[in-house]
Structure 1
């Protein structure tokens, strides 16, 4: 008598292959009573003939069968674009063969007589992994033909899908935009997407990190100086001015920004003449501007001018399995930069990615992907190991910091050469903003002209 011995696996499909009629029927009943949709076949060839129509999440097969064996089936499955995982059932004498099959790509094997609980656990784990990797592959294929916006904001979670729709709608408007989200969620990338998809796309995109500017130099750098510095507002004329960390603006600058938003007028330092500009302002901040208004450190009227439209970026921890897709995107991108074959994503890797809390959001994920690719370049590594490096990153000796700087110098130099000095393309390939790229180039002493000789 076959008993229900595992939590239901409703929605999953299993293709069972065994030339023994009684074993075939027993396996089918076991799986069906655990919630599986099952198709059984008496031979591997018969199973292959119905593979495309049934589209199984896992194939459960005997090793030794007349005609096409379980090993022959494994070879045949390798010809499929997204082959279902193969779990083999072997008699004791076939164990060496089954072990070799796993080395050649089989998912797992079970020795006869098998424990029903163990079998159900093995096929369920295989099916879950297959569904996850298949979804990632399908999304990647879909995104390869979509707009640049989709490549910036990869994912299928409800939050990221809503974000894409918001950005498309808001980009066509003329009002200012307030982008809010935790550190590392990609606020500058969203600002660039708003510019690229807008009628201003042919104009300049000027990015400014307000938190890095000395308070006594804000006025001259933002609004310019008579017969001197042009100022960021005028540089962005006809385009978009992105003000990151807007809450760092001093009160005097907040008042002048309000005038720019209301009238478009700028008065350079040392001048009595107002200059008319046509600029769209996209501001970004971590959550909490309303609290700053209450505390009296940020003007309420400026906030209301900035948030004509609002965009909220979800944290990576709230995006579910998007982390798998994003990680795969970064690994492929970095593997191309480092000129290696992308390391495969194992079930253990996927589990580690989904279990991590990602306090650094997408930026942290990209760093983990980079460490994974570098480990693969040396012939080893795993996601878990790359994550452990994150936990100890604050305790880095000077010699390692020097090594990291040397590595960054090589990576950026190669990217500049690869993309022919097109810095927007370089920044996109490296997964960083133009401002961050420029800062690193200066810090590392790189000279674009020398690299392109």
Structure 2
């Protein structure tokens, strides 16, 4: 993504003719430029003009160009390009060692000077962007830690979650796969009056007419069905658009009547729960095509929240990636790899069809490669990225990988399982199932 911000250049030279010449060149090249005759005036100008790069003569009365370089110790100071008719190799070497971006002799070659200034400005903006990312990560709190991002859509989403969390009204979440619909549903539950109750997730794509009553409603004298298990808390109906039509009718009765009758039970059992549903397709189109019941849609969408896709908030991409890399670096006990200009360019050029979930996976692959001193974002974006030292069979490889990842996440988050699930990008229930399946013992890990 190309930055359309006009490059700002500050020219510092005691020679008026040289200042005018440089200003004319910069103006003709589309730069925004201002000039000063003395280096000791630069500090005030940095505040008023905020240049992306400074061009300064070396030899000037009072404060020289080398003195100006020495005074700019702040890591957020713009790069300095020194220019002088008296330049020699020792001066140039000393200037570069002291932090000058480049050194140009008079008479300068205009095209070369402009190229140097463009490159200096680009690197300066990337450096400032990285510092801003770090500052934003440091100030995160509350909902910001779950729903990262500062785009208008994400700010509005967080406000909407806070506004509707206290309500019991049925709520429908709309968003593409990987945007974090379950995280939003859990946040609504955790922030609402039912936070102490259960949060039950049902994947509607797996429901069938034959097993609905037994698994969802329950059997008298047997274990409670999943819907009954949500009483007192929140029932999250994920992928409700994929629910078979006959099952939709069964769900409609449950939601409408707020009661269930377990198989073999003589009377119905009242339900006290909030229903939150989610789909990755347009429910209106599904109704129009006859794939979804209009009356069920009316029951579940008293409130609707739209979760933006990652490509619609590209300004958050680098920030999110930095956050996930830091998380996985902690889990895998490695130093987070530094982001290069090429890495940022690759992140911004990608379309992110898998949204935040895909971004999280790319960050993990980047950290795994960094464990071996290898890798880049471009390589991590490749779906066929291979890892060394894996077991012989796919089943063994997956189990070994999950066992190591979950164990390190439990250690990193000191056994706080909600935080572990969030860091791994899975639901709490899924995490519990994997822990049992893999034979992990939290106490032994800690």
TM-based fold match above 0.5: yes
Deviation, structure 1 residue 180: 1.4
- CA deviation vs aligned residue, 1:381-404 (integer Å, no higher than 9, x gap): 2211212x22567xxx98495556
Distance in 1 (CA, whole Å) between partners of 2:374 and 2:68 is 29
Pair 297,139 (structure 1): closer, same or farther in 2 beyond 3 Å: same
- CA deviation vs aligned residue, 1:64-92 (integer Å, no higher than 9, x gap): 88998878766765544x44345565857
Distance in 2 (CA, whole Å) between partners of 1:86 and 1:368 is 36
Query: Does residue 424 in structure 1 map to residue 418 in structure 2?
Result: yes
Preserved CA contact (<8 Å) 2:171 2:303: yes
Using structure 1 for the length normalisation, give the TM-score.
0.82
Query: Does residue 315 in structure 1 map to residue 274 in structure 2?
Result: no
Distance in 2 (CA, whole Å) between partners of 1:411 and 1:354 is 28
Preserved CA contact (<8 Å) 2:365 2:380: yes
- CA deviation vs aligned residue, 1:306-352 (integer Å, no higher than 9, x gap): 11111122221121221111111112222222333322222221111
Deviation, structure 1 residue 93: 3.0
Query: Does residue 160 in structure 1 map to residue 158 in structure 2?
Result: no
Match in the other structure for 1:221? 215
Distance in 2 (CA, whole Å) between partners of 1:234 and 1:48 is 68
Match in the other structure for 2:362? 368
Query: Does residue 173 in structure 1 map to residue 182 in structure 2?
Result: no
Aligned mate of 1:406, from 400, 403, 417: 400
Pair 306,35 (structure 1): closer, same or farther in 2 beyond 3 Å: same
Distance in 2 (CA, whole Å) between partners of 1:116 and 1:196 is 61
Query: Does residue 47 in structure 1 map to residue 35 in structure 2?
Result: no
Aligned mate of 1:26, from 6, 9, 21: 21
Aligned mate of 1:36, from 26, 32, 39: 32
Query: Does residue 230 in structure 1 map to residue 261 in structure 2?
Result: no
Match of 1:31, SS?
Answer: helix
Preserved CA contact (<8 Å) 1:222 1:233: yes
Match in the other structure for 2:297? 303
Pair 417,110 (structure 1): closer, same or farther in 2 beyond 3 Å: same
Preserved CA contact (<8 Å) 1:9 1:36: no
Match in the other structure for 1:196? 190
Distance in 2 (CA, whole Å) between partners of 1:270 and 1:163 is 44
Distance in 2 (CA, whole Å) between partners of 1:74 and 1:85 is 9
Aligned mate of 1:346, from 327, 340, 347: 340
- CA deviation vs aligned residue, 1:181-224 (integer Å, no higher than 9, x gap): 11111111111122222232232222222334565333322222
- CA deviation vs aligned residue, 1:252-284 (integer Å, no higher than 9, x gap): 432232233223212222223211121111111
Preserved CA contact (<8 Å) 1:89 1:111: yes
CA RMSD of aligned residues (A): 3.8
Match of 1:271, SS?
Answer: coil
Preserved CA contact (<8 Å) 1:219 1:253: no
Where does the alignment leave 5 or more consecutive residues of structure 1 unmatched?
Answer: 1-6
Match in the other structure for 2:383? 390
Match in the other structure for 1:57? 52
Preserved CA contact (<8 Å) 1:15 1:41: no
Match of 2:383, SS?
Answer: helix
Aligned mate of 1:15, from 10, 26, 31: 10
Where does the alignment leave 5 or more consecutive residues of structure 2 unmatched?
Answer: none
Query: Whose radius of gyration is greater, 1 or 2?
Result: 2
Distance in 1 (CA, whole Å) between partners of 2:398 and 2:242 is 30
The farther-off stretch of 401-410 and 297-306 is 401-410
Report the number of matched residues: 440
Match of 1:319, SS?
Answer: helix
- CA deviation vs aligned residue, 1:330-384 (integer Å, no higher than 9, x gap): 1222222233332222222111111111111111111111122223332242211
- CA deviation vs aligned residue, 1:35-66 (integer Å, no higher than 9, x gap): 415354644x6535654554333344567889
Using structure 2 for the length normalisation, give the TM-score.
0.83
Distance in 2 (CA, whole Å) between partners of 1:105 and 1:283 is 56
- CA deviation vs aligned residue, 1:279-306 (integer Å, no higher than 9, x gap): 1111111113333333433222111111
